Structure 1
Amino acid sequence: MSTHAPPHAPHGPGVTRSVTLPATLDEAVAALTAMPAAIPVAGGTDLMAAVNAGQLRPAALVGLGRISEIRGWEYQDGHGILGAGLTHARMGRPDFAALFPALAAAARAAGPPQTRNAGTLGGNVVTAAPAGDTLPVLAALEATLIVAGPGGSRREMPVSQLLSGREMLRPGEVVGHLRVPLLHAPQTFLKATGRTGPSRATASAAVVLDPARRGVRCAIGAVAPMPLRPLEAEQWVASLIDWSAVRVRGAVALAPEALSAFGEYVAMACIPDSEADPDTGQAPALPPAVQHLRRTVAALARRALGRALA
């Protein structure tokens, strides 16, 4: 049964006029359909920051915190079906980390305890902030969103499409779950932070190995509006890996010089050189800050792959 805020709720700047608390996904969809201006909210870590900064004044909120069906996960056809309401704190626990190690590492790095206790996987995806820690992992895992819509409908879309803005949520829709492949293979997540805060990434890297297909997936976060996949670098380094030596004690699956070259390849793909001047034919040097960011990306990619192969 849905619950609403009392009619005498305060109506000051940044304060909503209505809060609905549905108990099921379909109730949430019905509430969003009935109130097109309403905003769904789970942990509210990003939304409340925007409200407090005066950047957002939602007319109504649909709270998702009471929907138990999106707070856990289950197995289905070689995939994990992860509830969008999973908190970062829950994803950081050992039982989750055993199945999705890179996603757990990203969740543990998401900020101070109060942020990890409130922030959710679905909120990270829908907010799509460039520095969102789980986003490069989801991109590397090629996760799929399961979206609930009017009339009990469910549809799926690649998470990369929503993050790139190529496919948006329709009126009344809400992300209910994420479908993530269970690869049972090495996965890593690393990030670099700067003066913007002790937990905010200036760059991050996720690397996922897929030994069954002899593939490497890498995604770089925080350096662009969406996670970047250096596909050519992935294919190149996958062709050089001795897959029979992966995770074999004492064996070397990839030569050190190839590992270093992979980092540089990824960095060049994600932060390319400036375009050449049409008159001189020469490209101007990158600003020092951009050069530093490129070196950071190279180091993260190299270390992430190295740890996955160790």
Structure 2
Amino acid sequence: MEHGGNLVNRTIMMPASVDEAVEALAATPGAVPVAGATDLMEAVNGGRLRPAALIGLGRITELRGWRYEDGGTAVLGAGLTHARMDRPDFAALIPALADAARTAGPPQVRNVGTLGGNIATGAPAGDTLPVLAALEATATLARPGTVREVPISHLLTGLDPLRPGELLTWVRVPLLHAPQVFLKSTGRSGPSRAAASVALVLDPARRGVRCAVGAVAPVPLRPLEAESWVAGCIDWDARGQDGAVLIDPAALAAFGEYAAAACVPEGAAGGEGAGPAGARLRRTVAVLARRALGRALK
């Protein structure tokens, strides 16, 4: 853990259970929980974080797995690695999250980087974050004597942030048993940081479409009006000769433009939407959103 002298002389605690980790965090103000340390090391080396102590979560086996829960929910441990999410059994359960994990970086990063680390860091280009937003996942936050559930979107936006002494333990994801897609654009081949990403899931039971756009803003963005509009364009009861859900191709293209305009508004002063770069980003988001919906409807 001593990297470039930045973490020398830091206290490192290695609890063996969630309860021990919660107690250690409560007893050590300024301590930072750490699992894969990929985001932590970047923050430390960049001078953005100087933890008083580290609480290693690597010995807590229960946080590295996942399980089913009554009511059609998957409960994912905060220590679940990107590599583990890419395995076939998990990919069959939550395919968009598996796709995001697969593109999160080179093998050495995916083998240690965790779901909880992605959420706690909240980096704009975090690949799992738009998927969690589109799936309307919730986080379990624990502190001595109490736990609470918070929507991931509220956690990321600061509407209901992680409080001092709280530990992110679990992520609850509703299982829709319906098509879902994650796509991203990096501007180069191979796993790398997203310039833009789109997660899209269908919710046939509610005849709904959920979409979240990542990397274009500090947090994933939901183009709610575009979602509602395109859901009304889909013939949920009909199927084409190839079995695809029916939608007018013009509506499919319009959805991409609608979502892009909502998430990368044109002419935002000094923002992502300004100038030629903004126009390129809008085109990228439009293409990703259109393709994601098209694939989900097949």
* TM-score when normalising by structure 1: 0.90
> CA-atom RMSD, angstroms?
2.2
Secondary structure at the aligned position of 2:49 is classed as coil
- Counterpart of 2:150 (choices 153, 157, 160) is 157
Give the Cα–Cα distance (whole angstroms) in 1 for the partners of residues 293 and 207 of structure 2. Answer: 14
Distance across 1 between alignment mates of 2:265 and 2:46:
34
Render the CA deviation track for 1:45-77: whole Å, top value 9, x for unaligned.
010122233332212100111111111111112
Deviation, 1:12, is: 4.1
Contact in 2 for aligned 1:192/1:204 (Cα 8 Å) = yes
Partner of 2:53: 60
Shift, 1:154, TM fit: 1.5
Percentage of identical aligned residues = 68
1:82 to 2:80 alignment = no
* Counterpart position of 1:303: 291
Q: Which one of 181, 184, 194 corresponds to residue 188 of structure 1?
A: 181
Which residue of the partner structure matches residue 105 of structure 2?
A: 111
Query: Using the alignment, how far apart are the partners of 1:298 and 1:188 within structure 2?
Result: 15
Which secondary structure state, in structure 2, belongs to the residue aligned with residue 171 of structure 1?
coil
Structure 2 counterpart of 1:47: 40
Which letter maps to 1:37? G
Instruction: Give yes or no for the alignment of 1:242 onto 2:235.
Output: yes
Cα distance 1:52–1:246, how it changes in 2: closer, same or farther (>3 A)? farther
Q: Aligned partners of 2:122 and 2:277: how far apart in 1?
A: 24
SS at match of 2:210: strand
* DSSP 3-state at the match of 1:19: strand
Further displaced range: 74-83 or 245-254: 245-254
The one-letter amino acid paired with 1:228 is L
For the structure 1 residues 94 and 13, does the alpha-carbon distance in structure 2 shift closer, same or farther, using more than 3 Å as the test? closer
* Structure-2 separation of matches of 1:207 and 1:33: 38
Q: Secondary structure at the match of 2:159?
A: coil
Instruction: Report what 1:214 is aligned to.
Output: 207
Inter-CA distance 59–11: structure 2 relative to 1 (3 Å threshold): farther
d(CA) in 2 for partners of 1:67 and 1:247?
49
* Residue 141 of structure 1: aligned partner: 135
Using the alignment, how far apart are the partners of 1:299 and 1:204 within structure 2? 10
> Structure 1, unaligned stretches of length 5 or more?
277-284
CA distance in structure 1 between the aligned counterparts of 2:235 and 2:107, rounded to whole angstroms: 40
Contact 1:14-1:56 within 8 A present in 2 as well: no
Verify the 8 A CA contact 1:87 1:121 in the aligned structure 2. Answer: yes
Larger radius of gyration: 1
Aligned to 2:87: 93
**Aligned partners of 1:268 and 1:134: how far apart in 2?**
23
In 1: Cα distance, 2:276 partner to 2:210 partner = 29
Show the counterpart of 1:232: 225
Aligned partner of 2:122 in structure 1 is 128
Judged with a 3 Å threshold, the aligned counterparts in structure 2 of structure 1 residues 19 and 296 are, in CA distance, closer, same or farther, namely same
C-alpha distance in 2 between matches for 1:15 and 1:246? 62
Runs of 5+ consecutive residues of structure 2 not aligned to the other structure: none
Aligned residues: 294
